[in-house]
Amino acid sequence: MKFKTFAAFVGPSVFLMLLFIAAPLVTVFVGAFQLTQPVVEMVEEETCTPGFVTQTCTTTTVTRPVLDEFGEVVTTTEWVGWTNFTRVLDPEAAGAAIRAMDWGQLMQVDFYAALRFTLMFTLVTLPLVLGTGLAIALAVNNAARSIRGPVIFISLLPFIVTPVIGALSIRWLFIGDGILTSALEVWLDRDIAMFAQAWTIELMMLFYRVWHVAPFAFVIFYAGLQTVNQDTLESAIIDGASRWERLRYVIIPHLMPLIIFIALIHLMDTYRVFEEIVGFTSQAHVISLQWLTYDFLQPDDAGNRAFGRASASAMLTMVGIVFLLIPLLRRTWRDHKGGSH
């Protein structure tokens, strides 16, 4: 293929990737080392009480942001090095909590509370999604052909639902006098408040994520099962291999590239968990790293946004994703090198 033809096909994709992926990443990286603050001025403000004869006026000095000719707040940006990262990580409070072996004190720092939930959420849901997806794929693959279509359609419904809508649906089933909460109260003969403590909210979030993502794993595994060598399976059956042994020594090794692929996608997506926090309105009990970045971008009482800390939080989230992906990427690289020889 000529270079001009290759460039004509690849050029638009490369341009869009640079525009919508590379440029924002560079902006976030630079912003993590900068501090943007509004320019303020001290002005005297006179306040008078109601009335005419007995009116009393007092003069106070207040701080106001400086506005430009268009009415926008004037800001200044300066390089602050690692200050934003220090503010997010709060090493002094974290160090004191670690020295005192006080887990509760460490969880008072928002970043570590978000990191704990994000890691737990990611690492717990990964095997559940893989196991559930593989179980559904095996069940559908062994089902009668006449019912495979309807079963596949029903199995894919959770994956089709918009994430926030799905999270809200699960929340409505349990919050207050929701259908499932009411049923549990009648069954257990006691009042239940599913949203009164963090651990029940986390359980519902775990359930929702597995319910929502397992169909994706099911589709990938089901497609992979269609390519399993039937001669190998028949040989295993003739040799007396049990169903579990055929699964362990024939099917799973064949599906291993797909398992790694699903794990990569799941880790990258789940480590950025955000929809569940919004859908379950769990900010008072449970937060994630992605939600923490979002919270930094919310304006405070003065209308200011912590862009520097939000950028630092986003960079730390990206570093965490890279660390989680390294083992899988190394496994993929070893398999690629082994297959190329």
Dump pLDDT digits (tens) for 253-309.
999 999 999 999 999 999 989 988 988 888 888 999 999 999 998 887 766 788 899
Dump pLDDT digits (tens) for 186-223.
888 888 887 888 888 899 999 999 999 999 999 999 99
Structure token pair of residue 309: 């800390």
Write the single-letter amino acid at 152. I
pLDDT of the residue at 302? 67
Under the banding of pLDDT at 50, 70 and 90, the label for residue 185 is confident
Structure token pair of residue 73: 């707040």
What is the spatial distance between Cα 218 and Cα 136, in angstroms, rounded to a whole number? 6
Q: 31, 196, 214, 51: which is closest to 138 by C-alpha?
A: 214
Of the listed ranges 66-70, 230-234, 285-289, 336-340, the one predicted with least confidence: 336-340
pLDDT of the residue at 265? 93
Phi then psi for residue 138, to 5 deg, are -65, -40
**What does the domain layout of the chain look like in residue ranges?**
122-259
Q: 267, 133, 278: which is closest to 205 by C-alpha?
A: 278
What is the spatial distance between Cα 240 and Cα 254, in angstroms, rounded to a whole number? 20
* Stated pTM of the model: 0.84
Q: Where are the beta strands (DSSP E) in the chain?
A: 34-38, 40-48, 57-65, 75-79
What is the spatial distance between Cα 331 and Cα 323, in angstroms, rounded to a whole number? 14
Match domain 122-259 to its CATH number in 1.10.3720.10, 3.10.20.340, 1.20.1250.20, 3.40.50.720: 1.10.3720.10
Asked if residue 125 lies in contact with residue 210, where contact means CB atoms within 8 angstroms, the answer is: yes
Q: 122, 145, 127: which is closest to 214 by C-alpha?
A: 127
What is the spatial distance between Cα 99 and Cα 69, in angstroms, rounded to a whole number? 53
Under the banding of pLDDT at 50, 70 and 90, the label for residue 132 is very high
Dump pLDDT digits (tens) for 310-322.
999 999 999 999 9
Q: Going by C-beta distance under 8 Å and a sequence separation of 6 or more, which residues neighbour residue 274?
A: 288, 290, 291, 294
pLDDT of the residue at 215? 92
Of the listed ranges 37-46, 130-139, 149-158, the one predicted with least confidence: 37-46
pLDDT of the residue at 158? 86
Under the banding of pLDDT at 50, 70 and 90, the label for residue 63 is confident
pLDDT of the residue at 67? 79
Of the listed ranges 42-51, 178-187, 234-243, 275-284, the one predicted with least confidence: 42-51
Q: Rounded mean pLDDT of 111-130? A: 95
Under the banding of pLDDT at 50, 70 and 90, the label for residue 52 is low
Q: 335, 150, 152: which is closest to 260 by C-alpha?
A: 335
On the question of pLDDT at 238 being above 80, the answer is: yes
Dump pLDDT digits (tens) for 150-180.
888 888 888 888 888 888 888 888 887 778 8
What is the spatial distance between Cα 218 and Cα 221, in angstroms, rounded to a whole number? 5
pLDDT of the residue at 279? 87
Question: C-alpha dihedral over 101, 103, 105, 107, to 10 degrees?
Answer: 150
